[in-house]
Structure 1
Amino acid sequence: MNVPAKLYLLACFTLLTDLTLGFGQNQDTEFTFLLPAGRTECFYQTTVKNWSLEVEYQVIAGAGLDVGFTLISPSGYRLASDFRRSDGIHTVDPTEDGDYRLCFDNSFSKLSEKMVFFDVIVNGQGGNGGGREEWADEAPPESMVEYKLEDIRASMDSVYRHLEKSRQVQAVLRAFEARDRYLLEDNLWRVSFWSCLSLLVMLTVAVSQIYTLRRLFDDKKRVCT
């Protein structure tokens, strides 16, 4: 199986896993895509003013395992720029109101396409689960019930943050696992190729030596007769 075919199979496998956690209403996004040789692909993430934005990317497969990365703000300023790196993490806090542009560059590679995984985390100031704010309104002011509801809300927020962090770590680990799998398959092909080539050279040398020795003894017999 050639390298492009393996890249497409690896992309399909990763996309099937990531689509369940993809571009939904959740503010955390994971995506895996193939970046063609000599091309630049850009993605956009909408944010609100005074939020926080974190971008993490990882090159999973492709020759060199490196791409260029640029993060541009809605006002057009370049906030981060990487050249030929395999991974990176960039944070913007606070954010502007508008669309941030995430560009991945593979223009320096004329032959090899790259598989890139990236994770975008957008955190708002108000948090998630706005419906929980209604619980506090149901309780009378300055009552024990209000304090209990605040404690429950704080506990639920803590559990939610831990679950989100666990999901993000698992997504990154899946990206590392896919990259390691690709490297293992590529190294296995190289080891098998050079092993077969070495074996062929050894057999050729052995046959040449046997043929030379036989010719040498045949010449001695002819001289003796």
Structure 2
Amino acid sequence: MRLSVLAAFAFAEHVAATALTTAIAANERLCFYADVDKAGEKLGFYFAVQSGGSFDIDFEVRDPNEKVLLDGQRERQGDYVLTANTPGEYAFCFENDMSTLTEKLVDFDIMVESEPRREPPARTAQISEQTTALEESIFRLNGMLLNIKRTQKYFHTRENRGFDIVKSTMNQLFWYASLEVMGIVGMAVLQVYVLQTFFTKTGRRYKV
């Protein structure tokens, strides 16, 4: 399946990104694509399995020349940043081959940044010449927001996984209780049948 995932931000930021949640059926391979306009752009890739099986998935990242840049098997989540050295279309693929019945629900982000990330300048005596106090505040706020976003993703993943485990446990308890009830009813019917056959045995009649 081929899906294009580009969502443009403000031109001043030169960033394209997407955040999606997708269901991947058993034995299914699903790929998403992002375009890189020039060499040197930054690619960010984050994913986390929210539900299904053991919360694991196979993944792969390929460049426009079909070269594998990242891959992993039975991974629960990942957070990667890499530099795109070749302009073109990059593929981000998930594969659920290890599961024959279970569907997996995956949250993921793909980010393309047109400029190298700007790092805050070192705190030296010349800091006032390099940046303003407002820019320093923006850098700090940006870092804090990124940390908050990562923390929210972490708790969101934990919540979904916990809910999936509880749901699975409830289903198991339901079927276990149902089998237990059917077993008790079957034993009661069997006992009644045995008692009836024991007291209603017929023998030969003899005339005196």
Q: Is TM more than 0.5 here?
A: yes
Distance 2:143 2:112 in 1: 13
AA of the residue aligned to 1:94 = T
- Matched residue SS, 1:155: helix
Match of 1:45 among 34, 45, 48: 34
Using the TM superposition, give the Cα deviation of residue 210 of structure 1 relative to its aligned residue in structure 2, in angstroms. Answer: 4.4
Match of 1:117 among 77, 102, 107: 107
Using the TM superposition, give the Cα deviation of residue 49 of structure 1 relative to its aligned residue in structure 2, in angstroms. Answer: 3.6
Distance 1:164 1:90 in 2: 13
Using the TM superposition, give the Cα deviation of residue 37 of structure 1 relative to its aligned residue in structure 2, in angstroms. Answer: 3.6
Using the TM superposition, give the Cα deviation of residue 214 of structure 1 relative to its aligned residue in structure 2, in angstroms. Answer: 5.5
- Given that residues 56 and 87 in structure 1 are in contact (C-alpha distance below 8 angstroms), is that contact kept between their aligned partners in structure 2? no
Distance 1:157 1:28 in 2: 20
Distance 2:197 2:58 in 1: 62
1:189 aligns with 2:171: yes
- Matched residue SS, 2:84: coil
Matching residue of 1:32: 21
1:166–1:121 Cα change, 3 Å: farther
AA of the residue aligned to 2:80 = T
CA root-mean-square deviation: 3.5
- Given that residues 54 and 89 in structure 1 are in contact (C-alpha distance below 8 angstroms), is that contact kept between their aligned partners in structure 2? no
1:53–1:167 Cα change, 3 Å: same
Distance 2:53 2:130 in 1: 57
Matching residue of 1:72: 62
Paired residues in the alignment total 183
Distance 1:184 1:215 in 2: 47
1:86–1:192 Cα change, 3 Å: farther
Match of 1:205 among 179, 187, 208: 187
- Given that residues 80 and 90 in structure 1 are in contact (C-alpha distance below 8 angstroms), is that contact kept between their aligned partners in structure 2? no
Using the TM superposition, give the Cα deviation of residue 79 of structure 1 relative to its aligned residue in structure 2, in angstroms. Answer: 1.3
- Given that residues 55 and 120 in structure 1 are in contact (C-alpha distance below 8 angstroms), is that contact kept between their aligned partners in structure 2? yes
- Given that residues 47 and 79 in structure 2 are in contact (C-alpha distance below 8 angstroms), is that contact kept between their aligned partners in structure 1? no
- Matched residue SS, 2:152: helix
1:116–1:148 Cα change, 3 Å: closer
AA of the residue aligned to 2:137 = S
AA of the residue aligned to 2:19 = E
Distance 1:115 1:210 in 2: 50
Matching residue of 1:95: 84
1:161–1:33 Cα change, 3 Å: same
Using the TM superposition, give the Cα deviation of residue 34 of structure 1 relative to its aligned residue in structure 2, in angstroms. Answer: 1.7
Distance 1:148 1:52 in 2: 24
Matching residue of 1:62: 52
Distance 2:112 2:146 in 1: 12
Structure 2: state its 5+ residue gaps: 1-5, 10-14, 120-127, 202-208
Q: TM-score when scaled to structure 2?
A: 0.68
- Given that residues 29 and 121 in structure 1 are in contact (C-alpha distance below 8 angstroms), is that contact kept between their aligned partners in structure 2? yes
Distance 2:29 2:62 in 1: 14
Matching residue of 2:155: 173
- Matched residue SS, 2:83: coil
AA of the residue aligned to 2:77 = G
Using the TM superposition, give the Cα deviation of residue 213 of structure 1 relative to its aligned residue in structure 2, in angstroms. Answer: 4.1
Match of 1:161 among 131, 138, 143: 143
